[in-house]
């Protein structure tokens, strides 16, 4: 079970979907969750910067559905 992650948007507390938290954990490897890079990743993937949510979802799915070879 994962711990819910919340952000504040328009003076409201909004829960971030787990797939976005997992993506930003992976994408911003060395950033803490209070770091600006991590928060920016969350806000961008939530669609708050005007990005197309469908394209962002495809981008996250492409990263998680990638097969990483164990041996080359």
Task: Report the alpha-carbon distance of residue 2 to residue 38 in Å, rounded.
Answer: 18
Residue 71 included in any domain:
no
Whole-prediction pTM: 0.77
Residue 17 included in any domain:
yes
Is the pLDDT reported for residue 18 higher than 80? Answer: yes
Residue 49 included in any domain:
yes
Split into its structural domains, the chain has a count of 1
Structural domain span for residue 12: 5-64
8-state DSSP, 52: -
Residue 72 included in any domain:
no
Question: Which burial class, exposed, middle or buried, applies to 36 when counting CB atoms under 10 A from its CB (0-12, 13-18, 19+)?
Answer: exposed
Residue 55 included in any domain:
yes
Res 69: pLDDT: 73
Task: Report the alpha-carbon distance of residue 47 to residue 45 in Å, rounded.
Answer: 5
């Amino acid at each position: 079970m994962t711990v819910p992650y919340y952000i504040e948007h328009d003076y409201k507390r909004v829960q971030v979907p787990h797939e976005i938290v997992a993506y930003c954990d992976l994408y911003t490897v060395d950033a803490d969750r209070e770091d600006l890079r991590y928060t920016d990743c969350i806000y961008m993937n939530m669609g708050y910067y005007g990005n197309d949510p469908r394209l962002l979802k495809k981008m996250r799915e492409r990263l998680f559905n990638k097969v990483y070879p164990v041996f080359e």
